[in-house]
Amino acid sequence: MKNFNKMNKVRVRFAPSPTGPLHIGGVRTALYNYLFAKKNGGEMLLRIEDTDQTRFVPGAEKYIIEAFHWLNIPFDEGVHIGGPFAPYKQSERKDLYWKYAKMLIDNGNAYYAFDTPEALDEMRKSCEANKQTFIYNSITRKTLNNALNLSAEEVQQKLDSGSHFVIRFKMPENKTIEMHDIIRGQVTVNTDTLDDKVLFKSDGMPTYHLANIVDDHLMEISHVIRGEEWLPSMPLHIMLYEAFGWEAPQFAHLPLLLRPDGNGKLSKRDGDRLGFPVFPLRWVDPKTGETARGYREDDYFPEAFINMLALLGWNDGTEQEIFPMEELIEKFSLERVGKSGAKFNVEKAKWFNHKYLQQKDNAEIAKSLMLTLHENGVEADAQYVEKVVAVMKERVNFTHEIWTECRYMFQRPESYDPQSVKKRWKEDTPQVMENIVQLLTDISNWKNQTVHDALMNYIQEHELSVGQVMNSLRILMVGSSSGPDLTTMMDLFGKEETIERIKIGTQSIVNL
Ligand code: GLU
C-alpha cells in the first residue's frame, strides 16, 4: 500500500460518464478542477465512469478527449495517457469493486437484497395508487426480501442457487450527518430522508456511488469538485467513506449553468432554440446521425471560450473580465465560486471572442481566414489578407466574419443596395465619378492620406457635399453604406481596383 501524503497533495479528478457529448457545464467543471489543481500545485486526472452500460454511447469518450485537446486543458493522468493508478476506466476496473462491496457486507454497512425488479415494480405501483412514493429505506427494508430479514443459511442458499441479487447500502436510522462543502458551507441531513442505494448491481457491475468512492479513495483524490446535481449524493458518499473507515475528500458542488432567461438548467434544446452551441465540439449522434453545434466549429477561440466559462460562476471580486489562463490559475479560488446558478449569455460569449480576436496576431488570424477564403473559392494574397485583418478585426466577433460580413474586401460588389443608392446617388453623380476617376488616375503616390487629400480638394473646389461624394464612393466600393473608413479601404484595394470599382459600379447604377 502506498503511503501517500493525502493531507497536503491536491489531487482532483474529472469523471464524466460517456453518455454523449460533453455539455458545457461539464467543461466548466473540468476547468474549475484544472484551475484549482494548478493553483495549488496539484494534479488532475481524467476518469471514465462507464459502469452504467445501458447508457453507454460510442464515440463519447473520444469526443471528451478531443474536446480537452482543443481546449488545451492537459491532464496529468487519465484514460488516454495512463498513470500510476491505471486503468482509469471503470469498466476495466470491474473486478476490483466486488471486494469492496463485500467489505461493507462483512462490516454490516451493506446487505444483499433479493427483491426482483418485478416485485419492486409492484411495490411502486401499489404505493402510487395510494398517492405515496415507494422508498427502499430503513423502514421498508424491514419487510422486504433481503438479508436483513433472512437467516445466514437462507442467504447463503439464495446466493448458491444463483438468485438475482443486488447489494444495498444500509443507511443508519435517524442519524444526523454534518457535512462541509467548500462552496455551500455546512450541510446537515437526517438519514431518515435517504434511501438504501444500490451499490452493486445484478449485472456484476458496481453502481456509480460505489465505484466513484472506491476510485476516489484509491486514486488519492483530495478534493471532489463537481456539479450541483451531485449534492444530494454527498451524504451517501460521506457515509460510504465512514463505512469503509477512509478519510473523505473535501467537497465543492458548483452552481448550475442556467438558461439565458434564468429559468432552469441550460439544455441542448435551449441551444437549438436560441441558436448557440452547448457543446465544445460538433457532435454527430451515432444512432440518429443528428448533429449538434460546437464552439470549435462556430469559430470560437478556445481561450475565449474558457475565459467565458470561467466567469460563469466565479469572479475575482473586481470588475475584470479578461483573464488569460495563467491569470485564471493565479486568481482562482473555490471560495469565490457562487452558490446560485450562473446565467449563460451568448452575446457575452461572442463579446469574449471579439476581445480575444483583437489581441491575436494578425498573421495568425490571416492564416485561418485564408482557409475560409480558399473554401469559398477566393484566392487572396497573404499580405493583403493580413492588412485586411488589421483593418477589419475590430468590426467583427469571429475570424470567418471578416469574410462573411466583409466580402467586399475580397470581391467586387455584385449589387448595389437600392436604398443607399436612392439616398446618395444624384443626377450629377456619374459625372462627378468620371472626374474622380481622372483625379485618382493622376495620383502617383497611392496612399490613404494622398487619396483623402485629393478627394477633399476636389470636393472643396467644386463646392460639393462631402457626405454625398464620399458616400457615393462607398456604395461603389462596398455595394452598400457599410464598411470601414473609405480611403483606408481604397488604400488597401490599390489604385487599379479602386478605379475599376468606380467605373463598373457607376455603369451598373446608371443602367439600373
Ligand atoms: N460520473 C459522474 C458524472 O457523469 C461524476 C460525478 C462526480 O464527479 O462524482 O457526472
* pLDDT tens, position by position, 398-429: 999 999 999 999 999 999 999 999 999 999 99
CA–centroid distance for 144 within its chain: 45
Helix (H) or strand (E) holding 105: helix 94-106
- Beta strand extents in 74-175 (DSSP E only): 77-78, 110-113, 166-169
CA distance 45 to 225: 12
- Beta strand extents in 277-392 (DSSP E only): 283-284, 291-292, 342-343
The residue to mutate among 226, 234, 250, having the most atoms of ligand 1 within 8 angstroms of its beta carbon, is 226
Ligand 1 cavity residues, CB under 6 Å: 15-17, 49, 208, 212, 226, 230
Q: Which atom of ligand 1 is nearest to the CA of 226?
A: 8
Q: What SS3 class is residue 120?
A: helix
CA–centroid distance for 337 within its chain: 17
Assign domain 360-411 to a CATH class: mainly alpha
Going by C-alpha positions, the residue among 352, 255, 343 that lies closest to residue 307 is 352
Residue 198 has pLDDT above 70, yes or no: yes
Q: Whose CA is nearest to atom 3 of ligand 1?
A: 16
Q: What SS3 class is residue 38?
A: helix
Which CATH architecture fits 1-79+255-345?
Answer: 3-Layer(aba) Sandwich (3.40)
Residue with cell 493522468: 77
Residue 3 has pLDDT above 50, yes or no: no
Active site residue: 268, 387, 423, 503, which one? 268
Distance 227 CA to ligand 1 centre (A): 8
Q: Whose CA is nearest to atom 2 of ligand 1?
A: 16
β pairing state of 77-78 and 43-46: parallel
Q: Where are the alpha helices (DSSP H) in 130-233?
A: 152-160, 208-218
Q: Whose CA is nearest to atom 5 of ligand 1?
A: 15
Residue 158 vs residues 113, 144, 154, 155: alpha-carbon distances, Å: 10, 15, 6, 5
Take residue 377 and report the three cell numbers written for it.
473559392
Helix-strand-coil percent breakdown of the chain, rounded to 5?
50, 10, 40
CA distance 297 to 295: 6
Average pLDDT for 330-354: 96
pTM confidence score: 0.93
Q: Kindly give, in sequence order, each residue whose CB lies less than 8 Å from that of residue 433, ignoring residues fewer than 6 positions away.
A: 472, 473, 476, 502, 506
Whether residue 138 contacts residue 192, with contact meaning beta carbons closer than 8 Å, is answered with yes
The residue to mutate among 50, 51, 212, having the most atoms of ligand 1 within 8 angstroms of its beta carbon, is 212
β pairing state of 185-190 and 176-181: antiparallel
CA distance 23 to 300: 16
CA distance 210 to 417: 66
Residue 226 vs residues 198, 279, 468, 501: alpha-carbon distances, Å: 21, 18, 61, 59
Distance 44 CA to ligand 1 centre (A): 15
For position 1, what pLDDT does the model report? Answer: 35
Q: Is 220 left (phi over 0), alpha (psi -120 to 50) or beta?
A: left
Own/partner long-range contacts of 369-376 (Cβ < 8 Å, ≥24 apart): 369/399, 369/400, 369/402, 369/403, 372/399, 372/400, 372/403, 373/403, 373/410, 376/403
Average pLDDT for 62-79: 98
**Burial group, residue 96, by CB count within 10 angstroms (0-12, 13-18, 19+):** middle
Model confidence at 60, in pLDDT bands (50, 70, 90)? very high
Distance 14 CA to ligand 1 centre (A): 8
Whether residue 13 contacts residue 216, with contact meaning beta carbons closer than 8 Å, is answered with yes
Average pLDDT for 227-234: 97
Domains 94-200 and 360-411 share a fold: no
Model confidence at 271, in pLDDT bands (50, 70, 90)? confident
- Beta strand extents in 9-65 (DSSP E only): 11-14, 43-46
Q: Which atom of ligand 1 is nearest to the CA of 237?
A: 9
Mean pLDDT for all residues in the chain: 96
Distance 231 CA to ligand 1 centre (A): 11
> Candidates 1.10.10.350, 3.40.50.10860, 3.40.50.12500, 1.10.8.290; correct CATH number of 414-512?
1.10.10.350
Domain ranges of the chain: 1-79+255-345, 94-200, 360-411, 414-512
Q: What percent of the chain has pLDDT over 90?
A: 96
Whether residue 76 contacts residue 34, with contact meaning beta carbons closer than 8 Å, is answered with no
* pLDDT tens, position by position, 292-323: 999 999 999 999 999 999 999 999 999 999 99
Residues for the chain: how many in total? 512
Whether residue 16 contacts residue 55, with contact meaning beta carbons closer than 8 Å, is answered with no
Average pLDDT for 160-178: 96
Q: Which atom of ligand 1 is nearest to the CA of 49?
A: 1
Whether residue 354 contacts residue 401, with contact meaning beta carbons closer than 8 Å, is answered with no
Average pLDDT for 97-105: 97
Whether residue 394 contacts residue 366, with contact meaning beta carbons closer than 8 Å, is answered with no
Residue 309 vs residues 125, 168, 305: alpha-carbon distances, Å: 43, 38, 6
Model confidence at 7, in pLDDT bands (50, 70, 90)? low
CA distance 277 to 293: 5
Distance 266 CA to ligand 1 centre (A): 18
Distance 296 CA to ligand 1 centre (A): 24
Which CATH architecture fits 94-200?
Answer: Alpha-Beta Complex (3.90)
- Beta strand extents in 216-263 (DSSP E only): 223-227, 250-254, 257-258
Q: What SS3 class is residue 242?
A: helix
Q: Count the neighbouring beta carbons within 10 Å of the beta carbon of residue 454.
A: 16
Average pLDDT for 111-124: 96
CA distance 486 to 436: 14
Residue 391 has pLDDT above 80, yes or no: yes
Q: What SS3 class is residue 200?
A: strand
For position 8, what pLDDT does the model report? Answer: 72
Average pLDDT for 181-209: 96
Active site residue 94: no
Whether residue 35 contacts residue 67, with contact meaning beta carbons closer than 8 Å, is answered with no
Q: Which atom of ligand 1 is nearest to the CA of 14?
A: 8
Model confidence at 272, in pLDDT bands (50, 70, 90)? confident
